[in-house]
Structure 1
Amino acid sequence: MMGWRGRIGFLVPPGNPTVEPEMMQLTPAGVSLHFTRMVAHGNTGAHEGQEERNRAQIAHLDENAALLAMVKPGVMVMAHTATSYTLGKDGEATLIDRMQREHRIPFITAFGSVVAALAHLGVRRVAYATPYNEQVTALGKAHLEAHGLQVVAHGILPGVKNIYDETPERAYQLARQTDCADAQAVFLSGVGMPTIAVLDKLEQDLGKPVISSAAAMMWNALRTIGVCEPLQHGSCLLTGIAPTGTQEIKS
């Protein structure tokens, strides 16, 4: 049987080429992944029109989640961080509750997974790095602060034409440039910009946890379905190995 240890379902923005391959890189044996595209229109991945696309995804989420639920996953993941910024704290909580009541399946978000991951690591002060424009970045900063986190530094990737054209190398540079001494961890927001390939290198170089939306949502999805084995890569969150100079990661 496919997914004999558990099945994870992802709701992915249209045009996003990153979520499937990155999640496949992190998948333990016996876990199966299943993907449904959300509905949005326009130039996906571009800064222009991002808020409108977020709202379109929210408007169509019921029908997309109903399709994904047919696979009977052990958890459904809304794999888009910025949609949570559009929803706000209360709107996100309401959406999660409604999805879970309707489908009787645990429902998590990429952003909610980041909040859970930072709490798991004991992080309160974060350097926040994004590939977004200033408006969406500000919404994300406010959303982090609404959850009691202190954003001690934030940075925006310069020269972005389309988030889906970005590279792990650019994500690495963004994290390095955004980090500061007061930050207990660096958070790379978004699942469109590839991050998984550079998280371990960043932690080695910075000596602190570096959490991306992608790593956090896989970690949260795995623990939701009860698969808790350490992985070989994908940041201390998934390997359980603390970066040099930091305390041991909580189990």
Structure 2
Amino acid sequence: MKGWRARLGFLVPPGNPTVEPEMQALAPQGVSLHFTRMTASGPAGTHEGQEERNRSQIDSIESCSALLAMVSPQVIVMAHTATSYTLGSAAEAALVARIEQLSGTRFITAFGSVLAALEHLNVRRIAYATPYNEVTTLQGKRHLEEQGIEVVSYGQLANVRNIYEENDERAYAIARAVDRPDADAVFLSGVGMPTLDALQVLENDLGKPVISAASAMMWNALRVAGVQHSHSGYGRLLS
């Protein structure tokens, strides 16, 4: 650990080109980031086959976490929100406990980080936006509601060919589309869709917190690792 404030490990879906650059953009000096890919077959980033890919990824989490544990990170992050939606609340909690026991390392999920961020911001009612299909979006809505979060509105991007081909402008557009006056905050799910550059602009325009799975998981990973750091330009959660 000499010379480093902390090491963070990330389990990334195969084919996702977004997580590494977005996490690097948010990492403070002295924090090293380490990535490994979960295992899944079939085309990456498409709506078709997403549930099957999620289940394949779940099967690989133990072995992938063991690889990351070899660099002695303070925390390992499952950097994929839709995998939590496939698992459901009870299975996700069991997975976290099992990986922590096997790896000897704190293990957090992107979705669990979102819940922690919402609690930190004192948010109970949200507008919820995704790049997923309707089925996966509704899985996420149920998962949020099971945790006591009221989803006052929701929606998903239209005409998605591949989630990994989306951009911040599209993230901005869907967040604006789902926002409602009675939502305390807006949540953008999906770490494969770039969101960071849209967050501050959205907060300025909407006048409320806007978080994404990406911003929440870095915020939570640093918090769990004991690193105090503020980062302006990406919304009030990180600042």
Instruction: Answer whether TM exceeds 0.5 for this pair.
Output: yes
Whole-angstrom CA distance in 1 between matches of 2:80 and 2:190: 7
What residue number does 1:249 align with?
none
Instruction: Write out aligned runs for 1:64-103 (5 A).
Output: 64-103=64-103
What residue number does 1:211 align with?
211
Whole-angstrom CA distance in 2 between matches of 1:12 and 1:27: 16
Whole-angstrom CA distance in 2 between matches of 1:117 and 1:3: 29
The secondary structure found in structure 2 opposite 1:153 is strand
Is 1:122 aligned to 2:122, yes or no? yes
Whole-angstrom CA distance in 1 between matches of 2:188 and 2:237: 14
Q: Is the 8 A contact 1:128 1:186 kept in 2?
A: yes
Whole-angstrom CA distance in 2 between matches of 1:60 and 1:17: 19
The secondary structure found in structure 2 opposite 1:90 is helix
What residue number does 1:25 align with?
25
CA RMSD of aligned residues (A): 0.9
The secondary structure found in structure 2 opposite 1:34 is strand
Aligned residues: 239
Q: Identical aligned pairs, as a percentage?
A: 64
Q: Is the 8 A contact 1:185 1:208 kept in 2?
A: yes
Unmatched 5+ residue regions in structure 1? Answer: 240-251
CA displacement, residues 1-31 of structure 1 (integer Å, 9 cap, x when unaligned): 6761000000000000000000000010000
How far residue 103 of structure 1 moved from its aligned partner, in angstroms, is 1.0
What residue number does 2:140 align with?
140
What residue number does 1:113 align with?
113
Unmatched 5+ residue regions in structure 2? Answer: none
Whole-angstrom CA distance in 1 between matches of 2:220 and 2:15: 24
Whole-angstrom CA distance in 2 between matches of 1:201 and 1:111: 23
The secondary structure found in structure 2 opposite 1:60 is helix
Is 1:222 aligned to 2:222, yes or no? yes
**Residue type at the aligned position of 2:110:** A
How far residue 128 of structure 1 moved from its aligned partner, in angstroms, is 0.4
Cα distance change of structure 1 residues 65 and 3 upon mapping to structure 2, 3 Å threshold = farther
Q: Is the 8 A contact 1:2 1:30 kept in 2?
A: no
State the TM-score, normalized to the length of structure 2: 0.98
How far residue 234 of structure 1 moved from its aligned partner, in angstroms, is 1.9
How far residue 233 of structure 1 moved from its aligned partner, in angstroms, is 2.5
